[in-house]
Every structure is written in structure tokens, then in C-alpha cells.
């Protein structure tokens, strides 16, 4: 069970909500597993970062920029096959969710 701070921080990545909002077809479900794994990895990373002390967070900042870039790339790579199958409504939904959750760089990497 997570404490309130960790729960609030990882609530920005609600994998079940993302999947539900996208209304995936059975064919699209085949592409979902890698996306889910990448999202869960990102949520775990955010939770770890939220639990770190201030000094440690500050000292890790330079490293995080590189990791965030790598994480964005991994998520974009995992999502690309799924996103290619989206209809217009799913694409709008995906863009809205990405912006809401602060994944704007992922959307840009998919283009």
C-alpha cells in the first residue's frame, strides 16, 4: 500500500484509465502489452523519485534528464505500433491523455 504522497504522484499514470479511454479493438489489444509495460516502468520510476529526499532528487537531476529522454524514447517505441492503428477519435483521446499526464514529449516523438 502506498502512502498518500506516492499515490498522488503516481496517479498521473493510470494505466487502466488510459486503456479504457482508448477503447481498443481486439486487434489493437495485441499491441497493448509493451505500452502497458513501459507505462508501468515510468510509474515505478516516478514513485521512486517521489520517495527520494530533496538532496538526492537535486543531485540526480542531471542524470534524470538523460533517463527521461531514454524513458520517453522507450515509451514512444512501445506505443508506435499501437498508435499506427488508431482511428481519429482514439488519436484525439491519446493526445489529450498524453498532454494531461505531461507526456507531450512522447507525442512529439511519435510523429
Does pTM top 0.75 for this prediction? no
Round to whole Å and give the CA distance between 73 and 54: 27
59-71 as b/e, with b when 16 or more CB fall inside 10 Å?
A: eeeeeeeeeeeeb
Please report, in tens digits, the pLDDT of each residue of the chain (111 residues total).
334 433 333 336 889 999 999 999 999 999 999 999 998 888 887 777 666 665 555 555 544 554 567 777 888 899 999 999 999 999 999 989 888 887 777 776 776
Helix, strand, coil % in the chain, rounded to nearest 5: 80, 0, 20
Q: Which pLDDT does position 105 carry in this prediction?
A: 72
Q: Which pLDDT does position 55 carry in this prediction?
A: 54
Listed in sequence order, the residues at least 6 apart from 11 whose beta carbon sits closer than 8 Å to its beta carbon are none
The residue whose grid cell reads 482508448 is: 22
Amino acid at each position: 500500500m502506498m502512502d498518500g504522497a506516492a499515490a498522488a504522484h503516481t496517479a498521473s499514470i493510470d494505466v487502466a484509465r488510459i486503456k479504457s479511454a482508448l477503447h481498443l479493438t481486439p486487434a489493437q489489444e495485441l499491441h497493448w502489452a509493451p505500452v502497458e509495460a513501459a507505462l508501468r516502468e515510468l510509474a515505478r520510476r516516478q514513485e521512486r523519485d517521489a520517495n527520494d529526499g530533496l538532496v538526492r532528487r537535486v543531485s540526480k537531476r542531471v542524470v534524470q534528464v538523460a533517463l527521461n529522454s531514454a524513458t520517453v524514447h522507450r515509451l514512444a517505441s512501445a506505443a508506435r505500433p499501437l498508435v499506427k492503428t488508431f482511428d481519429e477519435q482514439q488519436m484525439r483521446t491519446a493526445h489529450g491523455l498524453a498532454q494531461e499526464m505531461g507526456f507531450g514529449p512522447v507525442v512529439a516523438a511519435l510523429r
